[in-house]
Amino acid sequence: MAEHMTQSTTTSSVPTQSRANQGDDAMTRGSATHTIGTDAPSTDARPIGPDDRAVIAVFPDMDSAERAVRKLAATGFPVEKISIVGTGIESETRVNGFVTAGDVAGPSTATGAWVGGLLGVLSSVAFLAIPGFGTLVVLGPLAAGAVGAAEGALLGGTVGAVLGHFVAKKHLPKYEEFVRTGNFLLVAHGTEEEVSLAQRILTDEGSTDVQRHDEHRGSIDRIGPLDQVVEGMRVVDGDGEEVGKVEFVKMGDPEAVTIAGEDPNTMPLVRSPFAERLLRVGYIQIDRKGLFAGDAYAAATQIERVAGGTVYLNVPKGMLLAKEG
């Protein structure tokens, strides 16, 4: 899950901060950094529609991704159908949430320089501060849905949450790893003719990995069959590796906004806001294999199916939250 901060004054093109973020904002007051950003618009949360085609290309740095964007634009590809996902922002300004070109250009020339003018081309950007991951940056139409998608993600799954409605889950760990290791994803979507053109150009521009994603359209945040899980069942991850056995099952409570009042014997021992997320969707606690392996948690959204006394997850074991303390 990402934390996104807000400032009290934003441009008129973006909404004012929500009540949920006021506590986050208070956490940053008095710090040496200046924070900008706000909640993303609720519209256009899923710009890649069911009839669209899509292609994702991987580039080793922002400069090469920017050159590819400008090459696409020069050949007539609609820039409003291009997004970039990556990490690595360095600035004295702390930028979190959804911002526009006006937000970035005013307070921080360093941040404006980092985006290299692409914000002027792609029109909007989301900066998401993710514990254990860094600052995820989403430029272009996917930015509008990035904040909301990240709210539903757990540690290590935010890139998947942004891409998950049009990329099959089996491909998501690959893209998570690409971004984690400093690469940038260029996402282009549109008609078959447009995406075929983009695929050729992105290959010619030296992308290290170009792949079409035309068939899958769905939700990454589907609640799995948690009600079928019982203690003692084997747990197998998305790569087919045995993780351990189910030690505890907790059904979800959509009203669990905070951990206040929760039974300490059943509360997941992970830091906020991950604990609240687990309580809302439900989870299993896993007694992991190995003498020194501690317990881990799998959210109900990470359960693919239950069959033959085994719980099958849809993520690799490295994306599970480890029990703390």
Domain boundaries 226-322, corresponding CATH code: 2.30.30.240
The dihedral formed by the CA atoms of 24, 26, 27 and 33, expressed in degrees to the nearest 10 = 100
Task: Report which DSSP code applies to 287.
Answer: E
List, as own/partner pairs, every contact residues 263-266 make where C-beta atoms lie below 8 angstroms and the sequence separation is at least 24, other chains included: none
Report domain extents, the chain.
19-212, 226-322
pLDDT the model gives residue 297: 92
pLDDT the model gives residue 291: 76
Nearest to 20 by CA among 157, 124, 148: 148
Rounded Cα distance, 231 and 31, in Å: 46
Nearest to 190 by CA among 51, 46, 43: 51
Contact 34, 107 (CB under 8 A): yes
pLDDT the model gives residue 256: 60
Q: How would you write the pLDDT of the chain (325 residues) with one tens digit per residue?
A: 444 332 222 222 223 233 233 333 333 333 333 333 444 444 445 678 878 899 999 999 888 998 999 999 999 999 889 999 988 654 433 444 444 444 444 444 344 444 545 655 666 677 776 655 667 888 888 877 666 555 555 544 678 778 878 888 788 889 988 998 999 999 999 999 999 999 999 999 999 999 999 988 776 567 889 999 999 999 999 889 999 999 999 998 876 655 666 666 678 888 766 787 788 889 999 999 877 788 999 988 889 899 999 999 987 887 788 888 7
How far CA 162 is from CA of 20, 217, 278, in Å, comes to: 21, 13, 19
pLDDT the model gives residue 40: 43
pLDDT the model gives residue 261: 61
Rounded Cα distance, 207 and 201, in Å: 9
User: Phi/psi of residue 117, each to 5°?
Assistant: 85, -10
pLDDT the model gives residue 148: 57
According to DSSP, the β-strands at 134-139 and 82-87 are antiparallel
Which tokens in the block code for residue 275? 């604990």
